[in-house]
Structures are given as structure tokens and as C-alpha cells.
Amino acid sequence: MLEPLGPGGLVGVLLLLVGIGIIAVTSPIVAGGLALVLVGLALVVRGLLSSTLSALGMDGML
């Protein structure tokens, strides 16, 4: 699962988790909302990427 991300992606995921952890220490409700927003954004990006690849004839790449 982590192999396609590469080193830059791994650092990005690590920074994301550390940032949410720091926010959770001070305000758990805000951290939960922020995590839901980020998951929703990731799903939107995945959907856009999937439809773009499908339009280019590369179905099943994701």
C-alpha cells in the first residue's frame, strides 16, 4: 500500500498524521472534523482521477 507513494508521499502522510495528532491534543472535536474533511477530500480526488483515467481509456488503473 505504501510503495506507490514514494518517499515524498510517505513524508506527507506522516506530517498529516502528526498535524492531526497535535490538534487532537488541544481539541479532539476539531481534530475529528479535520480528519473527516481530509478523508472526504481524498475521496473526491480519487473520484476525479478515476473518471479522468476512464475518459482517457485507462480504466481499472486505480
What pLDDT does residue 25 have? 93
Q: Give the pLDDT confidence score for residue 53 in this predicted structure.
A: 84
Q: Residue 13 in contact with residue 19, Cβ under 8 Å?
A: no
Q: Which amino acid is at 56?
A: L
φ, ψ of residue 57 to 5 degrees: the values are 85, 20
Q: Are 39 and 47 in contact, with CB atoms under 8 Å apart?
A: no
Q: Which residue has the higher pLDDT, 3 or 58?
A: 58
DSSP class of residue 3 equals: G
Query: Which has more pLDDT, 6 or 39?
Result: 39
Closest listed residue to residue 61, CA positions, set 16, 53, 41: 53
**pLDDT interval class at 62 (50, 70, 90):** low
pLDDT confidence of residue 49: 84
